[in-house]
Amino acid sequence: MLLRLLLLFILIPLFELYALLTLGAHFGALPTLAIILGTGVIGAFLARIQGLSLLGEIQGDLQAGRVPAVKMIDGLILFCAGVILLIPGLFTDILGLLLLTPMGRKGLRAYLKGVFMHHRGHPKGTFYTILSDEHERHIP
């Protein structure tokens, strides 16, 4: 756990700084700043649009009597993508933009399902039913 925190709080900012300095040396300071600010603004705008769209889908599912479990997890992933996009840096912007795509969210859901199933110890536990795409349970 300590190694993961070390990676998160020390190595990632160092990689980000190196990438920004390399990009700045190659393209110049103003284009590098424009790239970083542009990806942040565009990403935040996309996260807002997708979040509002997802909110409408969740409300539609609830009105139809369906539990929107996968969509709720997608909402959490979209929120995390928005937060990641606020962190200045090239790699974090790429990660945030990747999580804004449906394919990126589906990949993260599959990864989380594997992590939860590994910790739960059985293949058809609660986390499996919440994270699976085919989960459609009606509210009584």
Non-local CB neighbours of 16 within 8 Å, separated by 6+ positions: 88, 89, 90, 91, 92
Question: Do 91 and 16 touch, CB atoms closer than 8 A?
Answer: yes
**The predicted structure's pLDDT at residue 100:** 92
**pLDDT value of residue 78:** 92
Highest mean pLDDT among 53-57, 113-117, 136-140: 53-57
pLDDT of residue 129: 52
Chain center to CA of 76:
8
**Which of 36-40, 71-75, 88-92 holds the top average pLDDT?**
71-75
pLDDT band with cut points at 50, 70 and 90 for residue 2: confident
Question: Whole-model pTM?
Answer: 0.74
Q: For 139, left (φ over 0), alpha (ψ -120 to 50), or beta?
A: beta
pLDDT of residue 122: 55
Per residue in 21-71, pLDDT (tens digit) is 999 999 999 999 898 888 888 888 888 999 999 999 999 999 999 888 889
How high is the pLDDT of residue 11?
Answer: 85
